[in-house]
């Protein structure tokens, strides 16, 4: 599991968009979103570039691994 900072998420819809985008690129991943901390926790993905691409595809700003 790895944690990443994501800027721009403000609501449950935002969280769902990020989760969906990650699942599209990494179907076997696990994703949890902490809106207050602006963090996502992702398991089952070894490539940070996949996470970055998914976050940006969803329209949010990828800030890197925590």
For residue 5, how many C-alpha atoms fall within 13 Å in the half-sphere facing its CB?
Answer: 6
Read off the tokens for 46: 């070894």
Angle subtended by helix axes 12-25 and 48-57, to nearest 10: 130
Average pLDDT, the chain: 96
Question: Averaged over 44-65, what is the pLDDT?
Answer: 96
Tell me, what's the pLDDT at 63? 98
C-alpha span between 9 and 27 (Å, rounded)? 22
H/E stretch holding 15: helix 12-25
Question: Averaged over 24-36, what is the pLDDT?
Answer: 95
C-alpha span between 40 and 19 (Å, rounded)? 9
Question: Averaged over 19-33, what is the pLDDT?
Answer: 96
How much is the pTM? 0.93
Tell me, what's the pLDDT at 28? 94
Question: Averaged over 32-60, what is the pLDDT?
Answer: 96
């Amino acid at each position: 599991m790895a944690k990443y900072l994501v800027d721009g998420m403000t609501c449950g819809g935002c969280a769902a968009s990020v989760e969906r985008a990650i699942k599209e690129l990494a179907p076997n991943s696990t994703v949890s979103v902490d809106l207050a901390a602006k963090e996502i926790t992702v398991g089952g993905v070894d490539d940070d570039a996949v996470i970055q691409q998914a976050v940006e595809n969803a329209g949010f700003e990828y800030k890197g691994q925590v």
